């Protein structure tokens, strides 16, 4: 056991991004489950079982995320324990194993149909509940990252999703039972959730740790714009999922799988674009508000065009699905930015934000399978699609417009950085930022411990502590302002307050005080 922990600690030290790639394993689990690539047998004629699994898993995951917001402090502490993410991965893996076990070539022949259906739903529920817990742990990790690093790691995670998908698709089709799922598909279907949980737990490995500072865990800290965003997220995911589900439920399963391959190719291109944005684009040109508007307008156009192009109906439905993928990535980044900028608990922000998205997806898929066809018959397909497109349009430009997006990321206090300021930080600066996963211990040497002890002893505010750290490292006011993305005048104000609280009168006296505190450690 000791040798294993030593190996994992060295692995994380050599590859610091590894815990953050748990998002990629998590997304790969969702995509492989929702596409049916790994677990469907040759008896499947349409997407009925695929729809059922997705509905139960999405609703369970969304319920877990929303329920976590009502006990955020306790959930935050629970997620700190490495075993929590591993146990969640094991729960999701057990659900997937149950789905495989009751397949047509395994236990179906020996069990009553009612029992098979009940066990199938239980498997979907276990999958969703486990993935929901892992999502919260990933949220804590990403909420501690500066925006550019969030974009970069999201891009790398998308590459991992594509790699996992095409490995499964390209693996030999041999399976334990003729006509059943391939062995490689079974391994990926069952193993990916467990891998995601294990990767998320790797953040525990560090050399020297002190408790990280807490975050706000009350709903009152969320601005009004956030609740408007939630309404848009729920409506958008509901409409897009219902459109896609109505096509999947009646399409041959081969058509659905071909569409999944197309979406995955485009997903890889999107990952490359995201990586280029994170690494090579200047901060002034990163306009997430504009990107939000473009995604919403494109979705409106696609939904509105569906009834006009019956020949390409299935292809357009896959494109709508791709728009949902883009929106999902945009949402993940946005929620991580909110956690980082406003220092609000990731359990609160992602619990509401991503919980609304998953619930909307599950309910939308259910509506698309059960009721959308009846709606088409009652008011006409063209009118129904146009109405849905108008609802999305209203969400994009009335409920939560680009202006609301800018308000969401306005500085929370004088001198505090805006999203634009944070995006102007390069990746190297981001890696030096004092951010740690919520509730997660962070590595600090003697200098970092001394700074925290001085801040506690002299009752410095979090921002004054940041300024003290920079001054103690020998930075002048201009350099400190640049590194903290605040104005020069704000640095001077904090400096005067720090001098008064610490009882020093010059920069040299401050550095001497910190040196003495460091030597005393």
User: How would DSSP label each residue in 240-280?
Assistant: HHHHHHHHHTTS-HHHHHHHHHHHHHHHHHHHHHHHHHHHH
Query: What average pLDDT does range 30-51 have in this prediction?
Result: 82
CA distance linking residue 338 with residue 143, whole number of Å: 8
Which candidate, 159, 2, 140, places its Cα nearest to that of 76? 140
Cβ within 8 Å of residue 418, ≥6 positions away:
341, 409, 410, 411
Q: Which residue has the higher pLDDT, 207 or 120?
A: 120
Model-level pTM? 0.81
The pLDDT score that the predictor gives to residue 286 is 66
- The pLDDT assigned to 288 comes to 73
pLDDT surpasses 60 at 280? yes
The pLDDT > 90 percentage for the chain reads 34
Joined tokens for residue 411? 């500085």
Going from the N-terminus, what domains does the chain have, and what CATH number goes with each? 16-408 (1.20.1250.20), 445-519 (1.10.10.10)
- Cα–Cα distances in angstroms (integers) from residue 15 to residues 9, 82, 503, in the given order: 10, 18, 43
- The percentage of the chain sitting over the pLDDT mark of 70, rounded to a whole number, equals 86
Q: Which run of H or E residues covers position 56?
A: helix 48-68
pLDDT tens digits, one per residue of 178-220: 888 999 999 999 999 999 999 999 988 754 333 344 455 677 7
Residue 19 reports pLDDT greater than 90: yes
Q: Summarize the confidence of residues 351-378 as an average pLDDT.
A: 91
Residue 434 — pLDDT band, cuts 50, 70, 90? Answer: very low
Has residue 441 got a pLDDT over 90? Answer: no
- Structure-model confidence comparison of residues 37 and 358, the more confident one: 358
Band of the pLDDT at 417, cuts 50, 70, 90? low
Contacts 24+ apart (CB under 8 A), 451-455: 451/514, 452/210, 453/517, 454/502, 454/513, 454/514, 454/517
Q: How many CB atoms lie within 10 A of CB 32?
A: 24
CB atoms within 10 A of CB 487: 12
What is the per-residue pLDDT for 190?
A: 96
pLDDT at 443: 43
Specify the pLDDT at position 234.
95
Question: Worst-scoring range by mean pLDDT, 90-94, 137-141, 442-446, 474-478?
Answer: 442-446
pLDDT at 442 over 50: no
Which residues pair with residue 443 across a beta bridge? 209
Residue 356 pLDDT exceeds 70: yes
pLDDT of residue 107: 85
Whole-angstrom distance, CA of residue 307 vs CA of residue 388: 12
pLDDT for 86 equals 96
DSSP H helices, 144-252, are 147-170, 183-200, 224-248
In whole angstroms, give the CA distance from residue 437 to residue 201.
Answer: 12
Distance CA 160, CA 268 (A): 9
Angle between helices 113-143 and 22-35 (to 10 degrees): 150
Confidence of residue 282 (pLDDT cuts 50, 70, 90): low
* Structure confidence at residue 311 as a pLDDT band (50, 70, 90): very low
Mean pLDDT computed over 139-149: 90
Q: What does the pLDDT average to over 376-396?
A: 85
Q: How confident is the model at residue 284 (pLDDT cuts 50, 70, 90)?
A: low
Residue 427 confidence class, pLDDT cut points 50, 70, 90: low
Q: Which one has a higher pLDDT value, 290 or 190?
A: 190
Band (508; pLDDT cuts 50, 70, 90): confident
Q: Is the pLDDT of residue 496 over 80?
A: yes
Q: Are 148 and 424 in contact (CB under 8 A)?
A: no
């Amino acid at each position: 056991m000791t040798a294993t922990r030593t190996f994992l600690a060295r692995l994380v030290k050599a590859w610091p991004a590894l815990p953050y790639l748990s998002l990629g394993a998590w997304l790969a689990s969702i995509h492989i489950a929702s596409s049916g690539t790994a677990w469907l047998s040759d008896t499947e004629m349409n997407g009925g079982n695929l729809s059922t699994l997705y509905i139960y898993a999405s609703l369970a995951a969304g319920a877990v995320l929303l329920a976590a917001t009502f006990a955020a402090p306790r959930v935050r502490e629970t997620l700190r324990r490495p075993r929590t993410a591993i146990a969640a991965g094991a729960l999701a893996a057990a659900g997937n194993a149950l789905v495989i076990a009751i397949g047509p070539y395994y236990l179906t022949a020996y069990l009553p149909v009612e029992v098979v259906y009940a066990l199938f739903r239980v498997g979907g529920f276990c999958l969703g509940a486990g993935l929901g817990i892992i999502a919260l742990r990933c949220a804590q990790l990403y909420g501690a990252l500066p925006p550019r690093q969030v974009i970069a790691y999201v891009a790398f995670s998308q590459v991992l999703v594509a790699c996992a998908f095409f490995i499964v698709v390209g693996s030999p089709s041999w399976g334990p039972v003729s006509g059943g799922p391939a062995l490689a598909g079974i391994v990926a279907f069952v193993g990916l959730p467990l891998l995601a949980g294990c990767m998320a737990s790797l953040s525990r490995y560090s050399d020297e740790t002190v408790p990280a500072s807490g975050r706000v865990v009350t709903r009152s800290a969320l601005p009004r714009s956030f609740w408007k965003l939630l309404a848009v997220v729920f409506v958008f995911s509901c409409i897009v999922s219902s459109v896609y589900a109505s096509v999947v439920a009646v399409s041959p399963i081969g058509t659905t799988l071909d569409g999944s391959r197309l979406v995955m190719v485009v997903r890889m291109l999107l990952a490359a674009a995201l990586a280029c944005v994170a690494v090579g684009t200047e901060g002034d040109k990163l306009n997430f508000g504009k990107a939000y508007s473009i995604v919403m307008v494109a979705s409106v156009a696609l939904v509105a065009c569906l009834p006009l192009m019956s020949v390409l109906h299935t292809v357009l439905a896959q494109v709508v699905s791709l728009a949902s993928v883009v929106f999902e990535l945009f949402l993940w980044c946005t929620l991580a930015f909110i956690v980082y900028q406003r220092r609000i608990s990731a359990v609160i922000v992602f619990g509401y934000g991503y919980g609304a998205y998953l619930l909307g997806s599950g309910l939308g898929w259910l509506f698309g399978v059960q009721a959308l066809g009846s709606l088409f018959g009652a008011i006409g397909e063209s009118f129904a699609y146009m109405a849905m497109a108008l609802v999305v349009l209203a969400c994009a430009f009335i409920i939560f417009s680009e202006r609301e997006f800018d308000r969401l990321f306005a500085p929370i206090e004088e001198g505090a950085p805006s999203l634009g300021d944070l995006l102007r930080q390069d990746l190297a600066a981001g890696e030096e930022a004092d951010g740690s996963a919520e509730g997660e211990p962070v590595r600090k040497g003697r200098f970092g411990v001394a700074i925290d002890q001085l801040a506690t002893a002299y009752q410095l505010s979090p921002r004054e502590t940041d300024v003290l750290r920079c001054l103690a490292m020998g930075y002048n006011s201009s350099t400190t302002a640049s590194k903290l993305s605040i104005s020069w005048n704000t640095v001077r104000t904090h400096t005067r307050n720090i001098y008064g609280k610490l009882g020093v009168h010059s920069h040299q006296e401050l550095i001497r005080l910190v040196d003495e505190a460091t030597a005393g450690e």
